[in-house]
């Protein structure tokens, strides 16, 4: 049964429970950010439905013919609290190492309490889950993006699996500041064993999660995994 989050103004204190909004019936947590392969060829309408997947695997492949193992690094020590920023809506996210630059939509919840996902049409941007902390605030800010689109295998987060520890991600915010994050690790989880609490629970420092699908299966035309980039705030400056 899906548990809907309690929403209030204190995002940092309630987001651990808000993660439950991403649960499907039966307790499977997956995010449909890889459109069906037929849809990638334009053979059907866009669909971002969450899907239950098969037994666990460690392979990751965001599109046909592409594979990448998960990349891990030790979590660095907690930052000084003074580096945390005040709340401000994120406008765009950039990751130069993978050629990523996208405006950000605001994503809420569907009527059943599951998280919304961005549109699947070509050129569609990524989206910030608005019930998570804003990037730069203390806590875990969540940004979602499709790995492909309805017309081709290349979506806004197509190269997310290529990110590596130490690379930078920047988020431009509505208060004319830029939050600078450093990647800690990139993990790949099979959708049937997605670690909800680990990914969505609140951190005690400003952190960022970028999430998409991976593990393309040519036989089914589906994506079997979720790719998650973990990053933490290292600095911020005026835009």
- Predicted confidence at residue 164, as pLDDT, reads 98
Token pair belonging to 3: 């548990």
Pick the CATH number of 11-238 from 2.40.260.10, 1.20.1200.10, 3.40.190.290, 1.10.760.10: 2.40.260.10
pLDDT at 233 over 90: yes
- Number of alpha carbons in the 13 Å side-chain half-sphere of residue 71: 17
Give Cα separations from 124 to 21, 145, 148, 162 (angstroms): 24, 9, 10, 20
Residue 105 has pLDDT above 50, yes or no: yes
Q: Output 70 or 168, whichever has higher pLDDT.
A: 168
Average pLDDT over residues 94-109: 97
**Residue of 48 and 193 predicted with greater confidence:** 193
The per-residue pLDDT for 78 is 52
Q: Give the span between the Cα atoms of 171 and 123, in whole angstroms.
A: 19
Tokens of 107: 């994503």
Tokens for 9, please give them: 């103004």
Q: In the numeric block, which tokens belong to residue 139? A: 């806590």
CB 208 within 8 A of CB 138: no
**What average pLDDT is seen over the chain?**
76
Q: What are phi and psi of 118, to 5 degrees?
A: -65, 165
């Amino acid at each position: 049964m899906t548990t809907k989050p309690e929403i209030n103004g204190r995002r940092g204190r309630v987001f651990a429970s808000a993660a439950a909004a991403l649960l499907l019936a039966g307790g499977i947590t997956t995010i449909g950010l890889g459109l069906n392969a037929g849809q990638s060829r334009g053979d059907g309408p866009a669909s971002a439905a969450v899907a239950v997947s098969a037994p666990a695997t460690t392979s990751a492949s965001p599109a046909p013919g592409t594979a990448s193992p998960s990349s891990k690094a030790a979590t660095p020590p907690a930052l000084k609290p003074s580096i945390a920023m005040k709340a401000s809506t994120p406008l765009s996210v950039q990751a130069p190492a993978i050629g990523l630059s996208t405006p950000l939509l605001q994503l809420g919840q569907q009527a059943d309490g599951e998280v919304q996902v961005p549109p699947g049409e070509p050129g569609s941007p990524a989206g910030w889950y608005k019930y998570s902390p804003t990037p730069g605030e203390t806590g875990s800010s969540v940004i979602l993006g499709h790995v492909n689109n309805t017309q081709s295998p290349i979506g806004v987060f197509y190269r997310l699996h290529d990110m590596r520890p130490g690379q930078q991600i920047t988020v431009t915010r509505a208060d004319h500041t830029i939050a600078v994050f450093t990647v800690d690790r990139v993990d790949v989880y099979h959708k049937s064993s997605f670690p909800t609490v680990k990914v969505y629970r609140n951190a005690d420092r400003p952190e960022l999660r970028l999430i998409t699908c991976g593990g393309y299966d040519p036989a089914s035309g589906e994506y079997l995994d979720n790719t998650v980039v973990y990053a933490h705030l290292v600095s911020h400056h005026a835009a």
